[in-house]
Structure 1
Amino acid sequence: MSCSCSQPSEDGIHVFDARGIAKRFRHAAIFGALDALDPGETMRFANDHDPLPLLMQIEQHFGGRVRATYRQRVPGAVVIDFLVS
Protein backbone atom coordinates (compact mmCIF):
# COMPACT_ATOMS: atom_id res chain seq x y z
CA MET A 1 0.00 0.00 0.00
CA SER A 2 1.52 3.29 -1.03
CA CYS A 3 0.75 6.61 0.58
CA SER A 4 -0.72 9.45 -1.41
CA CYS A 5 -1.60 11.41 1.69
CA SER A 6 -2.41 14.67 -0.07
CA GLN A 7 -5.25 13.22 -2.16
CA PRO A 8 -8.01 10.80 -1.24
CA SER A 9 -8.11 7.51 -3.08
CA GLU A 10 -10.78 6.80 -5.68
CA ASP A 11 -13.33 5.82 -3.03
CA GLY A 12 -12.73 8.98 -0.95
CA ILE A 13 -10.57 7.27 1.66
CA HIS A 14 -7.36 9.01 2.75
CA VAL A 15 -4.45 6.56 2.90
CA PHE A 16 -1.95 6.81 5.75
CA ASP A 17 0.91 4.31 5.53
CA ALA A 18 2.68 4.43 8.89
CA ARG A 19 5.38 1.99 7.78
CA GLY A 20 7.32 4.80 6.11
CA ILE A 21 7.33 7.05 9.18
CA ALA A 22 10.04 6.82 11.84
CA LYS A 23 8.62 5.00 14.86
CA ARG A 24 9.31 7.89 17.22
CA PHE A 25 7.07 10.18 15.10
CA ARG A 26 4.25 7.75 14.24
CA HIS A 27 1.77 8.48 17.02
CA ALA A 28 2.09 12.25 16.64
CA ALA A 29 1.63 11.96 12.87
CA ILE A 30 -1.40 9.69 13.26
CA PHE A 31 -3.10 11.99 15.76
CA GLY A 32 -2.39 14.98 13.52
CA ALA A 33 -3.90 13.20 10.53
CA LEU A 34 -7.01 12.21 12.50
CA ASP A 35 -7.40 15.78 13.77
CA ALA A 36 -7.28 17.02 10.16
CA LEU A 37 -10.20 14.84 9.02
CA ASP A 38 -13.69 16.27 8.73
CA PRO A 39 -16.74 14.36 9.99
CA GLY A 40 -17.61 11.59 7.57
CA GLU A 41 -14.06 11.20 6.27
CA THR A 42 -12.05 8.00 6.61
CA MET A 43 -8.33 7.43 7.03
CA ARG A 44 -7.12 4.01 5.86
CA PHE A 45 -4.17 3.23 8.11
CA ALA A 46 -1.51 0.66 7.15
CA ASN A 47 1.02 -0.60 9.68
CA ASP A 48 3.53 -3.40 10.18
CA HIS A 49 1.95 -4.54 13.47
CA ASP A 50 -1.37 -4.49 15.31
CA PRO A 51 -1.35 -1.11 17.14
CA LEU A 52 -3.39 -2.05 20.22
CA PRO A 53 -1.84 0.62 22.52
CA LEU A 54 -2.45 3.24 19.81
CA LEU A 55 -6.11 2.19 19.51
CA MET A 56 -6.56 2.70 23.26
CA GLN A 57 -4.93 6.14 23.03
CA ILE A 58 -7.20 7.11 20.13
CA GLU A 59 -10.26 5.99 22.11
CA GLN A 60 -9.13 8.03 25.13
CA HIS A 61 -8.37 11.13 23.06
CA PHE A 62 -11.26 11.14 20.58
CA GLY A 63 -13.88 9.12 22.47
CA GLY A 64 -16.68 8.04 20.16
CA ARG A 65 -15.72 10.53 17.40
CA VAL A 66 -13.37 8.02 15.73
CA ARG A 67 -14.42 4.47 14.92
CA ALA A 68 -11.79 1.86 14.02
CA THR A 69 -12.60 -1.05 11.69
CA TYR A 70 -10.02 -3.65 10.73
CA ARG A 71 -9.78 -4.25 6.97
CA GLN A 72 -6.82 -6.63 7.28
CA ARG A 73 -5.26 -8.11 10.40
CA VAL A 74 -2.31 -10.34 9.56
CA PRO A 75 1.23 -10.21 10.99
CA GLY A 76 3.27 -7.63 9.10
CA ALA A 77 0.29 -6.12 7.30
CA VAL A 78 -2.45 -4.50 9.36
CA VAL A 79 -4.97 -2.17 7.73
CA ILE A 80 -7.52 -0.22 9.78
CA ASP A 81 -10.15 2.26 8.61
CA PHE A 82 -10.65 5.18 10.98
CA LEU A 83 -14.00 6.89 10.38
CA VAL A 84 -14.49 10.32 11.93
CA SER A 85 -17.99 11.31 13.02
Structure 2
Amino acid sequence: MPHDCSRPSTEADIYAFDARCVAKRFRHAAIFGALSALQPGETMRFCNDHDPIPLLHQIGDHFGDKIKMAYISREPGEIVIDFLVCA
Protein backbone atom coordinates (compact mmCIF):
# COMPACT_ATOMS: atom_id res chain seq x y z
CA MET A 1 0.00 0.00 0.00
CA PRO A 2 1.52 3.40 -0.97
CA HIS A 3 2.11 6.06 1.65
CA ASP A 4 -0.55 8.79 1.79
CA CYS A 5 1.12 12.09 2.78
CA SER A 6 -2.28 13.72 3.20
CA ARG A 7 -2.79 11.68 6.38
CA PRO A 8 -0.88 12.14 9.62
CA SER A 9 1.93 9.83 10.56
CA THR A 10 0.27 8.95 13.89
CA GLU A 11 -3.23 8.01 14.90
CA ALA A 12 -3.61 11.23 16.92
CA ASP A 13 -3.82 13.52 13.84
CA ILE A 14 -0.27 14.74 14.41
CA TYR A 15 1.71 15.77 11.33
CA ALA A 16 5.49 15.97 11.65
CA PHE A 17 7.28 19.09 10.39
CA ASP A 18 11.06 19.01 10.73
CA ALA A 19 12.25 22.55 10.02
CA ARG A 20 15.86 21.37 10.10
CA CYS A 21 15.25 19.79 6.68
CA VAL A 22 13.99 23.02 5.08
CA ALA A 23 16.38 25.64 3.69
CA LYS A 24 16.50 28.59 6.11
CA ARG A 25 15.28 31.08 3.51
CA PHE A 26 12.09 29.00 3.00
CA ARG A 27 11.36 27.98 6.61
CA HIS A 28 8.90 30.65 7.69
CA ALA A 29 6.88 30.43 4.47
CA ALA A 30 6.80 26.63 4.72
CA ILE A 31 5.72 26.70 8.37
CA PHE A 32 2.94 29.22 7.75
CA GLY A 33 1.77 27.22 4.74
CA ALA A 34 1.72 24.00 6.73
CA LEU A 35 -0.20 25.60 9.61
CA SER A 36 -2.71 27.10 7.17
CA ALA A 37 -3.33 23.67 5.64
CA LEU A 38 -4.28 22.01 8.94
CA GLN A 39 -7.92 21.35 9.81
CA PRO A 40 -9.46 21.94 13.26
CA GLY A 41 -8.33 19.23 15.66
CA GLU A 42 -5.14 18.47 13.74
CA THR A 43 -1.67 19.08 15.16
CA MET A 44 1.64 19.88 13.55
CA ARG A 45 4.62 18.62 15.57
CA PHE A 46 7.39 21.10 14.77
CA CYS A 47 11.05 20.15 15.26
CA ASN A 48 13.90 22.65 15.10
CA ASP A 49 17.51 23.08 16.20
CA HIS A 50 16.81 26.31 18.09
CA ASP A 51 13.95 27.91 20.02
CA PRO A 52 12.12 30.07 17.44
CA ILE A 53 10.79 32.77 19.79
CA PRO A 54 10.34 35.46 17.06
CA LEU A 55 8.54 32.93 14.85
CA LEU A 56 6.19 32.00 17.71
CA HIS A 57 5.25 35.67 18.10
CA GLN A 58 4.60 35.93 14.35
CA ILE A 59 2.42 32.80 14.44
CA GLY A 60 0.48 34.19 17.41
CA ASP A 61 -0.03 37.54 15.66
CA HIS A 62 -1.14 35.88 12.42
CA PHE A 63 -3.36 33.05 13.70
CA GLY A 64 -4.48 34.40 17.07
CA ASP A 65 -6.48 31.91 19.13
CA LYS A 66 -6.86 29.54 16.17
CA ILE A 67 -3.48 27.92 16.98
CA LYS A 68 -2.49 26.63 20.42
CA MET A 69 1.24 26.03 21.05
CA ALA A 70 2.78 23.59 23.53
CA TYR A 71 6.44 22.70 23.98
CA ILE A 72 7.13 18.96 23.95
CA SER A 73 10.92 19.37 24.28
CA ARG A 74 13.19 22.34 24.91
CA GLU A 75 16.50 20.52 24.89
CA PRO A 76 19.38 22.39 23.24
CA GLY A 77 19.50 21.39 19.59
CA GLU A 78 16.12 19.64 19.77
CA ILE A 79 13.14 21.93 20.14
CA VAL A 80 9.77 20.25 19.63
CA ILE A 81 6.53 22.22 19.68
CA ASP A 82 3.00 21.03 19.00
CA PHE A 83 0.73 23.45 17.14
CA LEU A 84 -2.92 22.47 17.56
CA VAL A 85 -5.57 24.00 15.31
CA CYS A 86 -8.67 24.90 17.31
CA ALA A 87 -12.21 24.90 15.95
Same fold (TM over 0.5): yes
Gaps of 5+ in 1: none
Q: Which residue number corresponds to residue 83 of structure 1?
A: 84
Q: How far apart are 1:9 and its partner, in Å?
A: 1.7
Partner in structure 2 of residue 32 of structure 1: 33
User: How far, CA to CA, are the matches of 2:9 and 2:24 in structure 1?
Assistant: 25
Tell me which residue corresponds to 1:8.
8
Identical counterparts, % of pairs: 64
TM-score by length of 2: 0.89
Which residue identity does 2:29 align to in structure 1?
A: A
Specify every segment of 5 or more residues in structure 2 that has no aligned partner in the other structure, as ranges.
Answer: none
Letter in 2 for 1:32: G
Aligned residue for 1:63? 64
Q: How many residues align?
A: 82
Structure 1 CA distance for aligned equivalents of residues 44 and 13 of structure 2? 9
CA deviation map 1:17-58 (0-9, x unaligned): 000000010000000000000011000000000000000000
RMSD between aligned residues? 1.6
Which residue pairs with 1:42 in the alignment? 43
Name the SS for the 2:63 alignment partner.
helix
**Would the aligned equivalents of 2:42 and 2:84 in 1 still touch at CA under 8 Å?**
yes
